[in-house]
Amino acid sequence: MGADGTAEAKTTYREAMREALREALRADDRVFLMGEDVGRYGGCFGVSLGLLEEFGPERVRDTPLSESAFVGAGIGAALAGMRPIVEIMTVNFSLLALDQILNNAATLLHMSGGQLPVPLVIRMTTGAGRQLAAQHSHSLEGWYAHIPGIRVLAPATLEDARHMLAPALADPDPVLIFEHGSLYNVSGELLPPTDPVGLDHAAIRRPGTDISLITYGGSLPKALAAVEELAAEGISAEVIDLRTLRPLDDAAIAASVARTHRAVVIDEAWRTGSLAAEVSARIAEESFYDLDAPVERVCSAEVPMPYARRLEEAALPQTADIVAAAHRAVG
């Protein structure tokens, strides 16, 4: 039983996102869900299970395997006043629709001199860790966070999975939501949010004074695990969950580094040109006089993701890597 007498509201990240979709479809008839196998199959990762039965084929639309066409159609429908949610099965297939996202969704408002906002939400699964090998294991959030004109979110907790969708739908501009594949089965208690969940700020998941562990999405659990190991050695580590990858919450990052004077950035993408590189550059620019050690980065090895389990684990950023980086920084 919950402390306040209600039944323990245990739920999973997947169920939280499904509930968000159901709430959105109920609240506004301009909202509809479109994507491969979102209807009869119930979603490749089961997120939209049961929605077809509840809302019908007009508002939960299975699409042919034509990413460019149905993402472009989502953009067109948004231009015409609808509030579509387009699901791209994984970020790996989003490359087929990158032209529509970059050259249409992100750019129409500007090219039209402000006449054509595109109120569209695109959700896609991301990340590696399930031995899906090179073509199914990419982490390309950084590519999208490079594009002016769109907002990029990375819900890592149950609360964010449940409550980010509504403000995203209310945003007049395109919003991309990245859901890390390893998070769907995470379960826990989902309490109603105290104040409304915003999209502009990072969150301090664990306060600390000696070092800042800055991360997002699927890497958050590994960072929290690292905190326990470091605490045992007397190092008080702070964990910053970025939540929004564009725009980055510069103030939160700078405030944390001003407290701890050391930073490790954890990002599952490849190091070169990664989001971690951008965060590290901003720390060097904004908090140079607060740095008592070079900024450390823990990213994937620069290799197409191998299939063999031990190789994949070696390629991906792990808790041990985070602890080692923290040691290098704390000295």
Partner 1 sequence: MSVARHTRTRKDPAHPKPVMKTAADKKNARTEHRRELLEAMLRIRRFEERCVELYSATKIRGFVHLYIGEEAVAVGVNGALTPEDAVVSTYREHGHALARGIAAEAVMAEMHGRTTGCSGGRGGSMHLFDASRRFYGGSAIVAGGLPLAAGLALADRMRGLPHVTCCFFGDGAFAEGEFHETANLAALWGLPLLLVCENNLYAMGTALAREHAQTDLAMRAASYGMPAWAVDGMDVEAVEQAARRAVEGIRAGTGPHFLEARTYRFRAHSMYDPDRYRAKVEIEQWKERDPISLLTDRMHENGELGDKELARIEQRITAEIDHAVEAAEQAPEEPVENLLHHVTSASAEAVS
Partner 2 sequence: MPSLGADMDEGTLLEWLVGPGDLVHKGDPVAVVETAKSTIEVECFATGTMTELLVEPGATVPVGTPLALIGPMAEKPQEPERAGKPHRPRKPAKARKPEGPTEAEKAEERQPVRHAPKKAEPSPPEPAPVPVSASAPPAARQPGHIEAGPLVRHLAEHSGVDLETLHGSGPGGRVTRTDVEQAAAARAAPRPPRVRATPFARRLAAELGVDLATVTGTGTGRGSAVCAADVRRAARGPATPAPPAGAKAVRPVARPAEDRAAAMRRAIAGLMSRANRDIPHYYLSTTVDMAAAMDWLHEHNRRSPVGERLLPATLLLKAAAMAAREVPELNGFWTDDHFTAGEGVHLGVAVSLRGGGLVAPALHHADTLALPQLMTALKDLVARARTGRLRGSEVSDATITVTNLGDQGVETVFGVIYPPQVALVGFGRVVDRPCAVDGLLGVRPVVTATLSADHRATDGAVGARYLTAVNRLLQNPEQL
Please report, as ranges, the residues that interact with partner 2 according to CB under 8 A: 209-210, 233-236, 261, 288-294, 328-331
Q: Do the bridges between strand 211-215 and strand 237-241 make them parallel or antiparallel, or are there none, so unpaired?
A: parallel
C-alpha closest to that of 123 among 71, 167, 78:
71
Q: Which residues pair with 88 in a beta bridge?
A: 124
Of residues 63 and 274, the one with the C-beta less far from partner 1: 63
110 catalytic residue (yes or no):
no
For tokens 């209600």, the residue is 6
Q: Which listed range, 96-104, 132-140, 203-211, 294-302, lies at the site for partner 1 (CB under 8 A)?
A: 96-104
C-alpha closest to that of 240 among 265, 279, 204, 273:
204
Q: Which listed range, 81-89, 121-129, 251-259, 290-298, lies at the site for partner 1 (CB under 8 A)?
A: 81-89
Angle in degrees, CA 147, 124, 275, rounded to 5: 40
Q: Look at residue 172 and give the partner it binds from partner 1, partner 2, none, a contact being a CB closer than 5 to 8 Å depending on partner kind.
A: partner 1
Single-letter code of the amino acid located at 228: E
At its nearest, how many Å lie between partner 1 and the CB of residue 38?
Answer: 15
Please give the structure tokens belonging to residue 207. Answer: 């306060």
Candidate residues 113, 192, 196, 331; the one interacting with partner 1 per rule CB under 8 A: 113
Of residues 64 and 196, the one with the C-beta less far from partner 1: 64
254 binds partner 1 (CB under 8 A): no
Secondary structure of residue 187 in the 3-state scheme: strand
Q: Look at residue 242 and give the partner it binds from partner 2, partner 1, none, a contact being a CB closer than 5 to 8 Å depending on partner kind.
A: none
58 catalytic residue (yes or no):
no
At its nearest, how many Å lie between partner 1 and the CB of residue 84?
Answer: 8
Contact assessment for residue 78 and residue 118, using Cβ atoms and an 8 Å cutoff = yes
9 binds partner 1 (CB under 8 A): no
**How many Å apart are CA 99 and CA 119, to the nearest integer?**
18
167 binds partner 1 (CB under 8 A): no
C-alpha closest to that of 285 among 319, 249, 254, 329:
254
Q: Look at residue 261 and give the partner it binds from partner 2, partner 1, none, a contact being a CB closer than 5 to 8 Å depending on partner kind.
A: partner 2
109 binds partner 1 (CB under 8 A): yes
Please give the structure tokens belonging to residue 149. Answer: 């004109």
Strands of 151-153's sheet in order across: 60-62, 31-35, 83-90, 121-126, 175-180, 151-153, 244-246
Angle in degrees, CA 199, 239, 281, rounded to 5: 75
HSE on the CB side for 178, CA within 13 Å?
29
Q: 81 phi and psi, to 5 degrees?
A: 110, 0
Of residues 85 and 315, the one with the C-beta less far from partner 1: 85
The 201-240 contact track toward partner 1, x by CB under 8 A, reads: ----------------------------------------
294 binds partner 1 (CB under 8 A): no
Q: Among residues 67, 238, 268, 312, which one is catalytic?
A: 67
280 binds partner 1 (CB under 8 A): no
Q: Which residues bind partner 1 (CB under 8 A)?
A: 32, 58, 61, 63-64, 66, 68-82, 84, 99-100, 103-104, 108-117, 148-149, 151, 172-173, 246-248, 250
Q: Give me the active site residues, please.
A: 67, 136
